[in-house]
A and B are shown apart, each in its own frame.
Chain A
């Protein structure tokens, strides 16, 4: 893959191995993402999704150690030569376990913690904090202790804290794992809004593929450390190999792929309704 100048994030032949392990967690990943991309990463556990996210925010290799080859470029600069503080200015991170991320006793402290570390003026902090909380729908929780929040509220707080840093890129590792269906939908709506209104680049790992189908521009499937498929959600869900890759298809897609393999499969509920109407109208066959 050639280096293009307008890539915000570029991985060139990037391989990585955690310390004290026998195998590479990532194997020769080539990926080039432009500013304004909305990319979903799916695949079975152990596929390397979290490691890929960590390679972009610098946790790999800065904190994890281990060995790597190839390179990760952020705005053309090699991530391993940047400090995590420098990476943190452009890449905001939301971990899969909000309890591992939240460190402060109350919601307000949690939100200002990152900003204080980067020396944001207090007047601006207030404004950023309000905006971040409002954009994930938890402005009413400002005075609460973080320990009293539900799993879903904690997940939203972690997103708000990342947003308060005004990152260029937001990387999220299964941000809806503890959310109910509508809460999950809300998170993706928030991401879409950030993407559309602020041109934010979004990278998200997710098991709920019906969300990826509807919200992402690009979907990447990983397996055992390798990038095995990449394309629009439609291209990926229509790919002949998708059944073998351990990824759940949206149910409408699964229905079509299993019983009507000749037809072009739907990937959203609305397309599914249209698809079934066509099936009914064709009577026999």
Chain B
């Protein structure tokens, strides 16, 4: 299958300093759910801004849905890729939640009878239908984040990029948002999300791309990436607490490689297996 996102040797620097992205190569296939992680300042947001035309890559370097981002109008690109900003206040400007979510749809030139049901559906997806007539500025930060998410969901673009979608959300809301994103992924949307929450990565991403000082230093299956503890430490990232816990226990099983634990449930299964191995060993 042709990649839906193809980045071919992209480098970039803002005017005031060092290069932020160095020679990035990345291919993402349709239907993937990719977490983009790295320290503050690693270049994550700068990278995804090249996918939506907010930063213009040199010609031929970045393609999204077979469009060359360098010379495609943002209005055309925005039918293919939706972007949820890290700070919802960079995105929200209407004075009702409903108008905010309808804005992008109206821009696409959709008829009113199509806009309304899409707005209602998107607000219901993020649990804000009861606040449709509120002014977004009166909502909490977490709620505003969900308004921003709804306005992108409503566009139903094949690719959705989310920059720290769970900032300012509590535990339950984080799970709800990610469950929603997972559902979109299962419905066929390609998802790229930036996050600092390694538990979310462990639970929801099938692939992890680690950026460190503008370079991709790890890219692969989530479990394999979390196995690379040295490389992760180099980019100053910490795997989830249970992953570290299993590493520190360092209890071998009857397998050649030690398992990488990604959740509390997996940790419990691992403990049971270690106990079995010990029990059998003790019986010999």
Residue pair B279, A255 in contact (C-beta under 8 Å): no
Bitwise, A253-269 to B at CB < 8 A (1) or not (0) is 01100110000000001
Q: Which residue of B lies closest to A145 (CB)?
A: B16
* CA gap between A179 and B197 in the complex, in Å: 10
**A269 with B268: in contact, given A174-B168, A179-B196, A284-B279 (CB under 8 Å)?**
no
A178-B167, A277-B249 known; A246-B172 Cβ under 8 A: yes
Report the Cα distance A283→B273, complex, angstroms.
10
Q: CB within 8 A of B89: which of A45, A99, A255?
A: A99
Q: Across the interface, name the chain B residue whose C-beta is closest to A152.
A: B40
Q: Which residue of B lies closest to A20 (CB)?
A: B138
Decide: A153 near B89, CB < 8 A? Known: A45-B142, A182-B238: no
Contact partner of B278 among A153, A247, A250, A280, CB < 8 A?
Answer: A280
Partner of B275, one of A151, A254, A283: A283
Chain A contact residues: helix, strand, loop or mixed: helix
The number of residues on chain A lying at the interface, defined by a beta carbon within 8 Å of a beta carbon of chain B, is 46
Cβ A178 vs Cβ B40 within 8 A: yes
Task: Given A272-B241, A283-B278, decide whether A177 and B168 contact each other with a Cβ distance below 8 A.
Answer: yes
A104 at the interface (CB under 8 A from B): no
A-B contact count (CB 8 A): 120
Q: How far is the CA of A152 from the CA of B167 in the complex (A)?
A: 13
Chain A residues closer than 8 Å to B140, beta-carbon distance: 45-46, 50
Q: Which residue of B lies closest to A277 (CB)?
A: B249
Q: Please measure, in the bound complex, the distance between the C-alpha atom of A100 and the C-alpha atom of B167, giving whole angstroms.
A: 15
Minimum C-beta distance from B67 to chain A (A): 29
Q: Does A210 lie at the interface of the complex (its beta carbon under 8 Å from any beta carbon of B)?
A: yes
Closest approach, in angstroms, between the C-beta of B157 and any C-beta of chain A?
Answer: 25
- Of A100, A180, A210, A277, which contacts B196 at CB under 8 A? A180
B95 to A: closest C-beta gap in Å: 15
Tell me the minimal C-beta distance from B204 to chain A in angstroms. Answer: 15
Q: Which of A44, A180, A254, A273 contacts B237 (CB 8 A)?
A: A180
Q: Does A96 sit at the interface, judged by CB under 8 A? A: yes
B76-96 contact mask (Cβ, 8 Å, vs A): 1 or 0: 000000000011010000000
- A150 and B40 contact, Cβ closer than 8 Å, known pairs A99-B87, A272-B245: yes
The verdict on B251 contacting chain A, using a C-beta distance below 8 Å, is yes
The answer to whether B264 touches A254 (Cβ under 8 A) is: yes
Closest Cβ–Cβ distance, residue A185 to chain B (whole Å): 8
Interface residues of B in 108-122 (CB under 8 A from A): none
Cα distance A283–B271 in the bound complex, in angstroms: 10
The verdict on B100 contacting chain A, using a C-beta distance below 8 Å, is no
Closest 4 CB pairs of A and B: A152-B40, A248-B171, A251-B241, A45-B142
